[in-house]
Amino acid sequence: MGRKYLLGNEAIAHACLESGVDFVSGYPGTPSSEVIDVLRIQPDRSYYVEWSVNEKVALENALAAAWCGIRALCTMKHVGLNVAADPLMTSAYTGVTAGLVIMSADDPFAHSSQNEQDSRCYAHFARIPCLDPASIQEAHDMIPKAFSLSEEFGLPVLFRPTTRICHSKGDIEISEPVEGLRKGEFHKDPRQYVVIPAHTRLLHKKLNEKQPAIRKRLVELGYNRYTIQGKTAIIASGIGATYVQELLPDGVSFMKIGAYPIDEEWLGDFVKKHEKILVIEELAPEVEEAVRQAAGCVPVLGKKNGFAPFEGELSPQAVAAIMERAGFLKKNPLPLGDPLQNLPPRPPILCAGCLHRVAFYAIKKVFRDAVYPSDIGCYTLGLQLGVVDTTICMGASITVASGIFHAGDPRDIVCTIGDSTFLHTGIQGLLNAVYNGANITVVILDNRITAMTGHQPNPNSGMTACGAESPPVSLEAICRACGVIFVESVNPYEVTGMVTVLQEAKKRKGVKVIIAKQLCVISARRAGIKRGSYQVNPEICTGCGTCVRFGCPAIEFADERARINDLCSGCAVCAQLCPVGAISREGKK
Amino acid sequence: MSESYDILIVGIGGQGTILASNILGEACLIEGRHVKGAETHGMAQRGGSVESHIRIDGLFGPLIPPGRADLLISFDLLEALRYSHYLKKGGKMVVNRHLVLPTSVFTQNLPAPTQDEIIEALKKHALCLLDADTIAEEAGSPLSQNVVMLGAASQSIPLEPESLLDAVKRLVPKKTLEINIKAFEMGRKFGGTCR
């Protein structure tokens, strides 16, 4: 079909089309989200596609589809695989009839994540094949193979790109899409699909018996390959292999690992032909451990003896430094640059007019000395406003709040959670908090969209992944059904109203829920909502700094006066905060 | 080491650096050349400092090592300074004379360099400084400033200006086509005065 300049995730999505995918599910998470974002907007789709409410739900849906004999893709970020770990582990026992590819995108350096875990460990743990691309082209080319491999062995295949694959671009050779069939049918076979002890013991044995053939097949597929060029060797995986190839000196052998499990015999043959081996890979020492087992007395240099770091991501300069340290480069061709110090940092920040900022402002005003557990989403940026005390994983705001309460902390506890996160794994925490008598205030920051990952719809948005209208979900009704008595919805742009409701909640005992509802400003702008913009009258402004401390990027301070720049989205909150009435809508008095 | 022409585009999330990088990639395709790139998605896009790497004729990884960029295109003065160590010796800089101070400067009273101080510091490189916002407005829309920047940079980029302009035409929304063509040409004209 030709070459196109594509984002890694676009190339992966296109490869799914070329593979005749029938069923797609997933939950958004950086760096994985664009795969479904591309698939859900294709015209004339022959396949089914959904944004699921969480990764466990997504994987169980996709697994069922693969049991019905149609090709299924399930996407998530690495930490999403923790949520989906329960079905993952047993799906290796039940197996699949048509291809099931689980894409779990890792994020070395935690560019947009809460940790640096390695999805390859899950494949190892579940004993399923794992493909680990070194470039976008390879990622693209691996997808059809991943489906056929899954069908050949009757096992889910874990496909594990990283941020530098998903969010890199390149000129990629693509092929014509193939139309899927989507004529699934479930054939009853309790010994396969009902994992009671008597069945599962046999299924476990079958899973183990598949392993040697998988290892051999992966070598045949050519994802694990080598060239012998000398007495020393570098073994590398993922994008690290690409960086090594750019720097590899003459006379050094090179092995590239792109698929797991690695065949020990094949690996051992290579290792034993060398006098020194350097292993370069991101995240866990997954390859290094296999190499060490195969190495016998051949010295192996890697993470475990300090030649390569356990943390962070690789880069050409990081790989050059490792190769120099290990004696594979005499002179480092990529010395680290010298960044200028003392420049003010520019971290990401809540948008001008974001509902989260004003909700946090009101929370802080009413609950001065409180504990503020929070959650995963744009609102984690409330850290800069001093209203985010904890963030662990999706849904862990309400649970941490009730845990802190039951631990005996005498302060007020106010937690914040977004609508998508609440529907992902927040509801159980709320139910548990009510059931067990916690005394906490829960503020649901309801912007009706999954904003951080690129504005994917969720059950609260009123439409499906493909834009079809969906039944409205009432967050109020969900909270009441969990047993919450105090459930109030407010428009956070009305600061006094938001403060009054919080004050009311503060007086009461038990679990109180406040739903702060306002469209995400980015969604509002895309929907064409215009609120005008605001300006400061320098004659009236006293330079007190109240509006500046609010922390909105549209508000600047120069020459002892506040000033509103063109980022203003017209939320009017600063006009309500100004003690002297110096802020008004442009063109109005 | 491969011989690629390495361009780093930097700015603030939301300024249109990704479209600029897509235009460069498309222009490479038009000329049948290999290209690799990497960019910032996710959290940092929320008003944070963002970077796009583009390696024309790149065969290996997408990341430009510090000290290796042939060209730095910056949509903001402070970001130009922040990433200036990526430029190789003799590398060029095309910078928008536009300074947005990070909000932290106001909320936490952090010291920040002035516009003049930044420009002075940038002058030790081969600097092409332009007022892309004003040129974009003259072209018909302030939103076309990213194409103005590309036009100015096109004087240094080893791609035919026709290929770049074709790529602009393919990638910008149809109703802004005329504005963006004008933006590219005005930017290119200004870039010609920098040499």
Which of A343, A381, A565 faces B78 most closely, judged by CB atoms? A343
State the nearest Cα–Cα gap between B25 and chain A, in angstroms.
6
Which of A3, A167, A246 faces B29 most closely, judged by CB atoms? A3
Number of H helices, E strands in chain A: 23, 23
Are both A40 and A147 inside the same structural domain?
Answer: yes
Residue A95 in any domain: the answer is yes
Choose one of A480, A507, A526: the last residue of a domain. A526
At B60, give phi and psi (nearest 5°).
Answer: -110, -125
State the nearest Cα–Cα gap between A123 and chain B, in angstroms.
26
Which of B28, B45, B60 faces A5 most closely, judged by CB atoms? B28
Looking at chain B, which residue has its C-alpha nearest residue A548?
B107
The tens digit of pLDDT for each residue in B51-67 reads 999 999 998 899 999 99
Q: By the 8 A CB rule, do A570 and A534 touch?
A: yes
Residues of A in contact with B49 (CB under 8 A): 345-347
Low pLDDT (below 70) residues in chain A: 588-589
Residue A335 in any domain: the answer is no
Q: How far apart are alpha carbons A496 and B180 in whole angstroms?
A: 45
Secondary structure (3-state) at A139: helix
Asked if ipTM goes beyond 0.90, one says: yes
Are both A58 and A145 inside the same structural domain?
Answer: yes
Are both A276 and A315 inside the same structural domain?
Answer: yes
Residue A421 in any domain: the answer is yes
State the nearest Cα–Cα gap between A282 and chain B, in angstroms.
14
Note whether B113 contacts A: Cβ–Cβ < 8 A.
yes
More confident position, B103 or A285? A285
| Amino acid, res. A271 | V
CATH number of A81's domain: 3.40.50.970
What pLDDT does A587 receive?
76
To test the contact with chain B by mutation, choose from A169, A356, A361, A456 the residue with the greatest count of B C-beta atoms within 10 A, namely A169
Are both A72 and A188 inside the same structural domain?
Answer: yes
Residue A337 in any domain: the answer is no
At A554, give phi and psi (nearest 5°).
Answer: -85, -10
What pLDDT does A322 receive?
97
Q: Omega of the bond prior to A31 within 30 degrees of 0, cis?
A: yes
Residues of A in contact with B12 (CB under 8 A): 346
State the nearest Cα–Cα gap between B12 and chain A, in angstroms.
8
What pLDDT does B109 receive?
86
Choose one of A304, A325, A346: the last residue of a domain. A325
- Pick from B147, B103, B152: which is nearest to B129 by CA? B152
Structure tokens at B45: 């896009």
The tens digit of pLDDT for each residue in A440-484 reads 999 999 999 999 999 999 999 999 999 999 998 999 999 999 999
Q: How far apart are alpha carbons B165 and B176 in whole angstroms?
A: 14
Q: Contact B107/A551, CB-based, under 8 Å?
A: yes
Determine if residue A176 is left, alpha or beta; phi over 0 gives left, psi from -120 to 50 gives alpha, anything else beta. beta
The tens digit of pLDDT for each residue in A302-344 reads 999 999 999 999 999 999 999 999 999 998 898 777 788 889 9
Give how far the C-alpha of residue A311 lies from the chain's centroid of Cα atoms, to the nearest Å.
Answer: 18
| Amino acid, res. A557 | F
pTM value surpassing 0.90? yes
CATH number of A298's domain: 3.40.50.920
What pLDDT does B14 receive?
82
The alpha helices in A422-471, defined as continuous H runs, are 427-435
Are both A559 and A543 inside the same structural domain?
Answer: yes
> Is the pLDDT score of B117 beyond 60?
yes
Residue A284 in any domain: the answer is yes
Note whether B47 contacts A: Cβ–Cβ < 8 A.
yes
Looking at chain A, which residue has its C-alpha nearest residue B52?
A168
Are both A70 and A83 inside the same structural domain?
Answer: yes
Are both A420 and A500 inside the same structural domain?
Answer: yes
Q: Contact B63/A316, CB-based, under 8 Å?
A: yes
Looking at chain B, which residue has its C-alpha nearest residue A550?
B107
CATH number of A556's domain: 3.30.70.20
Sequential DSSP letters for A325-355: HTTS-SS-SS----PPSSPPP----PPTT-H
> Is the pLDDT score of B2 beyond 60?
no
Domains of chain B in start order, with CATH, are 5-101+109-192 (3.40.920.10)
User: Residue holding tokens 């160590």?
Assistant: B85
Are both A389 and A507 inside the same structural domain?
Answer: yes
Q: By the 8 A CB rule, do A19 and A71 touch?
A: yes
Secondary structure (3-state) at B159: coil
Q: By the 8 A CB rule, do A493 and A569 touch?
A: no
> Is the pLDDT score of B172 beyond 70?
yes
Residue A348 in any domain: the answer is no
Residues of B in contact with A454 (CB under 8 A): 41
Q: What is the mean pLDDT of residues B30-50?
A: 86
Are both A162 and A58 inside the same structural domain?
Answer: yes
H, E, C per residue of A459-498: CCCCECCCCCECCCCCHHHHHHHCCCCEEEEECCCCHHHH
Residue A344 in any domain: the answer is no
Cα dist from B156 to A461, A519, B190, B194, whole Å:
46, 43, 12, 10
What pLDDT does A338 receive?
79
Which of A5, A453, A549 faces B22 most closely, judged by CB atoms? A5
The count of domains in chain A is 4
Q: In terms of residue numbers, what domain contains A241? A: 225-325
Q: Contact B104/A338, CB-based, under 8 Å?
A: no
Note whether B39 contacts A: Cβ–Cβ < 8 A.
yes
Q: How far apart are alpha carbons B28 and B6 in whole angstroms?
A: 13
Are both A519 and A442 inside the same structural domain?
Answer: yes
- Pick from B25, B148, B9, B188: which is nearest to B87 by CA? B9
Which of B28, B42, B79 faces A30 most closely, judged by CB atoms? B42
Are both A441 and A501 inside the same structural domain?
Answer: yes
Residue A380 in any domain: the answer is yes
Are both A384 and A463 inside the same structural domain?
Answer: yes
What pLDDT does B42 receive?
66
Q: How far apart are alpha carbons A241 and A219 in whole angstroms?
A: 17
Q: What is the CA radius of gyration of chain B?
A: 16
